[in-house]
Structure 1
């Protein structure tokens, strides 16, 4: 016994040496730290942040793909997770067979799978390939089929990680519409994406992650503005632009105090209601500093979801102090609320534009009457329309 214990005595130091050298070679990364939030039934939360901030890791933990090393997660209800779409498909099975397997894993009964199979196949729209092995599919086809399965499971919780970019433009539009339908049924949404307009369109509130920590939670507009502020400041720092240190939060957004819109009104107010085609008169006082060699104001009209409808670049005279810009337009838009976004930029050329300030949401107008009898969509465009009846088709008169 004595000999054995004497022989074993060097092992603890050896173990410590091995552990120390292994730790020096193994990289440990804590993806999330102190993340705490609650999402109630029917709510929609958008999570934004730069690459590597921990967004996808958080979704994978909530979806049950990853186990947290600390803390706990409580999820109640059926979850549909649009994460790595198609990763669970068996390449040797046909698309139809993979639908059956995946739908069963997601909790559908054989009867439910049979009832929904035609809808899933029609939504994926991959034609006769549905009965071919998945190994013959393009990556886009596999993604579309996986997306179709997930959105037909009637989930209580929908988790989306950059999954709205699947397929072509037509399929993306169909995917957005389908998610909108799911949300209207009261489904809870946890959404991660770099498409900030989608966050505004779908989410009631938003969360900004940075280096695995929550920086800000609140309304989507507020959180997105802070994200853009940090992103722009980082971009200026990367360009070694000394103006980065002066970039700060200002009224309606972020920017330089001496290169931004300081006063703005539409028909004499911050917000106004008008009839269709009624005149709108915008007055903006734009502050510049003498170091801005090519000042320019970019004036954009946005719809309720933050999508840009139209806009103009207005060149400003170089100088110091405020310049007044007056813009008049007719409110030829469909019923709804529209916001104005302004950006003051230094723009020697279109390809060389540095944003000095960005302000949005503090100036808006509402078109109060319904104009669907005049046109469909958000605004009319000139059209040459002819209607012909019977033999007069070749000589139809303009409508």
Structure 2
């Protein structure tokens, strides 16, 4: 079976002109350097041309293959080439070198709304946009009501797009793209459109699209979304692939590099001491070196409300003046549910602590994240290590008859009939 997407040795180089006039002078100077028979003068002309022209290489020989139904998350710092890569795959930009082979219909959530005609109504723009994306007039008529309902912009659908807010235009553009039944869905930070309710609807719609076997190429700074949607991940840096693998592993490396960069910017000498450690990254002399739950395991199965007892050993260096351990419980998508900030003794050696709690969570798998920090105050916190995923627990019973959501919150509930004596009697 053919892969959905094949990228082979793709590079992208931009020419940057020193001034607008350089677009005229540089080709002219190069042409003169070829025609003039005097080597010294020709060399001087080429030097003058080179000073007015610079190159920026956004991508450098990228290669990867994406199978049908796979989901790949691409992460990296700003300027690493993520959006450039997506634009090349979507056909918006041509590569300078290499080839891209796409098999199937592509829906690209890039620069949403940029193709709308501001003079046309929202409904007219839907028809034009959907036709460009390959839908027939019959398919557009069939899906129009669903698109309009999904965008949820009310009567504005029949008003010119120039009267829309930026959020309304983005919502309408998103609605069109996700109703085209794509074989490959390309998402570039598009899940931040609209309010919280629309974002939840957008996430649910993408889940629905992926459940049909659609291939996903996802770029975003929301690392939890990468974990939730993607089977594997890729880390870009300065236009190169520096790591590819499981999302948890790639995200940990990304956070490691981000943390190291932040400490370097603060001229903190500990930046050079950060290294990969068990379950994450950090300083070897300020991290969790041993952890178990319920008497020796690293993963336990529990019923709702059962006791969860975590024992931790934290190695500390005396130079850490205000050591604390941040103990967090995360759900399956990496969302933090609860946690505690625990002060540790300033010591040279290993501090031991125990954290006990009731596993009062809904059915599912949960992970424990630990961070050792140097924190003289809440607003002055330096993370020394971050470890996640080596401790986890699973709540096996379904508790939806007791509460909804992930965990219960104490509530006072009163239920009345709403019927009062004497109601409806005459005066």
TM bucket (normalised to shorter chain) is over 0.9
User: Does 1:385 find its partner at 2:413?
Assistant: yes
Matching of residues 121-140 of structure 1 within 5 Å: 121-140=148-167
Aligned-pair CA distance for 1:23: 2.5
- In the alignment, what sits opposite 2:101? 74
How many residues in Structure 1 have an aligned counterpart in Structure 2? 386
**Unaligned stretches of 5+ residues in structure 2:** 1-33, 422-427
Q: Equivalent residue for 2:336? A: 308
Matching residue of 2:15 = none
Offset at residue 388 of structure 1 (A): 2.0
Within-5 A mapping of 1:99-118 = 99-118=126-145
1:65 aligns with 2:92: yes
Residues 41-78 of structure 1, C-alpha deviations (whole Å, 9 max, x = no match)? 10000000000000000000100001111110000100
2:355 to 322, 327, 330: 327
Superposition RMSD in Å:
1.4
When normalised by structure 1's length, the TM-score is: 0.94
Residue 202 of structure 2 is matched in structure 1 by: 175
Q: Report the equivalent of 1:375.
A: 403
Q: Which position in structure 2 is the counterpart of 1:187?
A: 214
* CA shift in 2, pair 1:324/1:392, >3 Å: farther
Q: Distance in 2 between matches of 1:218 and 1:202?
A: 14
Shifted more, 10-19 versus 85-94: the winner is 10-19
Counterpart of 2:36 (choices 10, 16, 20) is 10
Q: Which residue of 2 aligns with 1:245?
A: 272
CA distance in structure 1 between the partners assigned to 2:324 and 2:380 by the alignment: 12
Quote the residue 1:41 is aligned against: 68
Give, in angstroms, the shift of residue 125 of structure 1: 1.0
What are structure 1's unaligned runs of at least 5 residues? 1-7, 394-399
**SS in structure 2 opposite 1:317?**
coil
Any idea what the Cα deviations from partners look like across 1:223-260, whole Å, max 9, x if unmatched? Answer: 00000000000100110100011100000000000000
Partner residue, 2:121: 94
Distance 1:392 1:364, change over 3 A: farther
The SS at the match of 1:369 is coil
Give, in angstroms, the shift of residue 291 of structure 1. 0.7
Secondary structure (helix, strand or coil) at the match of 1:143 reads: helix
Report the Cα offset of residue 360 of structure 1.
0.1
Deviation at 1:22, TM superposition (A): 2.7
SS in 2 for 1:88: coil
TM-score (norm 2): 0.88
Give per-residue Cα distances to partners, 1:266-299, cap 9 Å, x unaligned.
1021111111100010100111111111000000
Bigger strand fraction: 2
Q: Distance in 2 between matches of 1:255 and 1:150?
A: 42
Give the distance between the partners of 2:128 and 2:184, measured in 1 at CA.
20
